[in-house]
Chain A
Amino acid sequence: MSNHKKIPNLNAPDISHSNDNTVEISRRTALKTIGASAGALAGMGAGAGALSGLIGSAHASDEPIRIGFQVHRTGIGAAYGRWYDRTTEAVVKKINSEGGINGRPIEIIAEDDGTDPKRGAEVVEKFATKHNCDVAFGTLFSHVVFGSAPRAGELAIPYFVVSEGHHVASGKLNRYTLQPGITDVKSQVEAMAPFINENLGKKVTMIFPDFAFGHDHRDYFTQAFEAVGGQVLEKIAIPPTETSFSKYFPKIPRETEVIYHVMVGPAVLTFVKELGEFFGPSRPEIFGFIDSLEAVDLASPGLEFLDGTYFWEGNPRYAQEGQSEFDKAYREAVGVDENGASISDAKDVSTYAHMFGCWETLHVVKAGMEASDYSGPADRQKLIEAVEAMTEMPHSLEHPQGAKLFNGKTHQVFGHQYISKMTDGKLVLAHTTSIEDTLYEDEVDYTSMSF
């Protein structure tokens, strides 16, 4: 029981100093000087008392905690990979400047998996056997997770994915695979279905990529939408490597009231542009997952028709009115401006709706390692048990996307979802769902499985 109470305690020092130091420079200098004492404070909160915390960091050597980062540098996930990389770099810098984990700095060992399941499994193997990593982390594309997770289970290395796929909570993976930093498709679409039904229309045509992630959308949205009285007229699957899309659109039935689109891969901009060309001036309502335009500049020519359409966003790309101080600090740390683009290049648009998952996941890893007094690979099982014991994660600098609720049995986190409306070329937040809207019944209990 004591485990999950630790999280708020751990967060406390960080929140207070980010409150105190809103100016950039003073915040940074403060981070440096506070660093050591923050580590000690964290230790005090984590252990049964200050003493055990100090002993914990005393016997831990300066040897870094090695985190294997499976990154999509090339292949169809490259745009996400670039930003997952930057976010990870930023969060590691933050944690290390605050004293690291149990007094040890984090070292990231990044390996490109080419957004390929087979290479994904090889990368996980290298982390475990060659690089002596403590944990593996960071995978996004669901087919790569599917390809890699079994190997992580066999090699008994904790595998923290940042993927959105429902595969973790579905029970198809194993005790070593956890998704504590980003919500899954099933919970997202369950929260979207009532909104679409009430505000946009009752007859939907779905367009989605033809692999595990798209199939999650197809299956769980259809289920959720029919449950609220809507109807899915047509389900159009598109291979994720497709480059031209006009030929798929004639399958959209004439009586369609709402287009539901979610697309990934390098050709997403073409996809959305051709969708606009297909409909011309007489489009139906359109509801998209921002995946269809992640890393794409919304001011690109041909996207004007999206004005007035709605998007699911994991985390609002544009800084909204009443932006939280946590989002502000997180944005600044990662190097993203108020339009969701890189500070150094306004055309380099981030994958803002997803990449917060890296930031939050590494904070969960830190909290888990501190709670389990993690000292090396022998403590991997203790680490997993410590994460499984977590429940509430309050809105904080550690969780800038919003408050979360972790389900240790299904290894999946739940959180708020955002619906934005495209207004004058920007995404303006229109609706925020509650965490309760996204919950569903457990399909697995990983904690009952042996290690």
Chain B
Amino acid sequence: MEFGPHLFIASLEGAITAAVLALTAVGLSIVFGIMRVVNVAHGEFFMLGAVLAWWITSLIAGHPALGFGVALVAAPIVVGAIAVLCNRLVLNKINYEPERTIVATIGLLYVIQQTTLMTFGPEARPVEAPFNKRIALPWFEFGESGFALTWPWGLSTTTYKLAVIVAAILILLILWLVLTRTKIGLIMRATQLDSEMAQAHGIAVNKVYAMVFGLGAALAALGAVLVVPIQQAHYLMGGDPLLLSFIVVIIGGLGSVLGTVVAAVLIGMSDGIISVFFTPTLAKILATLLVAFVLIFKPDGLFGRRRE
């Protein structure tokens, strides 16, 4: 493939990775930002979202869009509820102490993963996209006859892939509005700034924590439901999103939603482009290397606020 169309298709693939990654990483980021909890089980909430999407769509007969629509709403809610329960039964009991929460969420990771293996099984299962039409994309060139549009071989995407990008942008916008323009958002931000002071002002911090942990997991699940018609549900699928989310959150600045989104776009796009032109392994190497440099030169991340 020629360089131009090749780069274009790489950017498209990168944009899909970035869109899903942004949703997942923002979930991880608000959990850390507000609760100071490093949630190692975050990838498993992502996986649960995909697996539930498969389960729900397989229960509902009729047009695939019907089942998918239900899954898009129900899966994040169920995963959020599971996360609230985990918060109540585990994190709350250990007082959100940083070291203990890391170990506890590692435990949660295995519990969720193995429970899925025992129930859902080890197979990858497909979810049919609500709509999926191939779109051949045009490319322009200046030939002997001047400017001309061509349709290069293989330069294409699908309507569903474009919809994933649009949906992710919409969800992130809504999230941003909730965080900055609503009372719930205000309470969350207050808790983030100083949880003790917030509690002194009558905010039920424990309830906020439960809600935030649920919201973080629900965002990961939402990302998974969006991507599962492109990928397939599998009990081991949580590993990559977890690694990439951590990379993104560290680069963007722990707890900074804007930083997380910017970093997700940066990592997602570079992952797409480097994978296409070189190898996917090199893309991961470079992303991890970038984390190392950020930690050395700007330990709070690109958008992180320095804390005392």
Contacts and interface: CB of A to CB of B under 8 A. Distances in A.
Contacts of A302: 132
A204 to B, nearest CB: 16
B128 A269 contact: no
B237 to A, nearest CB: 7
Interface in A426-443: none
A75 B158 CA distance: 30
A250 B10 contact: yes
Interface string A401-441: 00000000000000000000000000000000000000000
A266 B232 contact: yes
Given A243-B231, A250-B1, A254-B1, A280 B6 contact: no
Interface string A375-393: 0000000000000000000
Contacts of A73: 122
Interface in A235-255: 239, 242-244, 246-252, 254
| Range, interface on chain B | 20 to 34
B1 A277 contact: no
A243 B237 contact: yes
Contacts of A451: none
Contact of B156 (A239, A242, A278, A301): A278
A30 B6 CA distance: 64
A78 B122 contact: yes
Interface string A61-95: 00000000000011100110110000000000000
B85 interface: no
B232 A270 contact: yes
Contact of B154 (A78, A242, A279, A300): A279
A451 B21 CA distance: 54
A254 B153 contact: yes
Interface stretch (B200-208, B252-260, B275-283): B275-283
A267 B154 contact: no
A252 B154 contact: yes
A282 interface: yes
Given A280-B134, A280-B156, A247 B276 contact: yes
Contacts of A295: 123
A90 B10 CA distance: 48
Interface in B56-111: none
Contact of A244 (B9, B13, B117, B121): B13
B181 to A, nearest CB: 35
A254 B5 CA distance: 13
B240 A243 contact: yes
B230 interface: yes
Interface string B228-248: 001110101100100000000
B251 to A, nearest CB: 21
Interface string B8-51: 01100100010000000000000000000000000000000000
Interface in B100-152: 117, 121-124, 126, 128, 132, 134, 136
Contacts of B154: 249-250, 252, 278-280
B272 interface: yes
Central interface residue in B124, B158, B230, B281, by most chain A CB within 10 Å = B124
A126 B101 CA distance: 36
B109 to A, nearest CB: 16
B87 to A, nearest CB: 28
B63 to A, nearest CB: 12
Interface string A277-292: 1111010000000000
A279 B158 CA distance: 12
A242 B122 CA distance: 16
A247 B124 contact: no
Contacts of A79: 122-123
Nearest to A269: B126
Nearest to B153: A254
Contacts of A300: 126
B10 A247 contact: yes
Given A239-B281, A247-B272, A280-B136, A267 B232 contact: yes
Central interface residue in A75, A81, A254, A280, by most chain B CB within 10 Å = A280
Contacts of A82: 122-123
Contact of B124 (A254, A267, A278, A280): A267
Contact of A270 (B122, B231, B276): B231
B275 to A, nearest CB: 5
Contact of B9 (A74, A75, A250, A279): A250
A420 to B, nearest CB: 23
A280 B154 CA distance: 7
Contact of B128 (A246, A282, A301): A301
Interface in B188-237: 230-232, 234, 236-237
A269 B121 CA distance: 17
Interface string B260-292: 000000000000100110001100000000000
Central interface residue in A79, A250, A266, A302, by most chain B CB within 10 Å = A250
Contacts of B156: 277-278, 280
A242 B271 CA distance: 13
A286 B232 CA distance: 24
Contacts of B237: 243
A239 B280 CA distance: 8
Contacts of B124: 266-267, 269
A74 B275 contact: no
Contacts of B122: 73-75, 78-79, 81-82
A396 B135 CA distance: 51
Closest 9 CB pairs of A and B: A78-B122, A266-B124, A250-B1, A247-B13, A247-B276, A74-B122, A266-B234, A243-B231, A250-B6
Given A250-B6, A301-B128, 8 more contacts: A79-B123, A244-B17, A247-B10, A247-B275, A269-B126, A277-B156, A280-B156, A295-B123
20 contacts: A78-B121, A78-B122, A81-B122, A239-B280, A242-B280, A243-B234, A244-B17, A244-B231, A246-B13, A247-B280, A250-B1, A250-B154, A254-B1, A266-B123, A266-B232, A267-B231, A267-B232, A269-B232, A277-B134, A279-B153
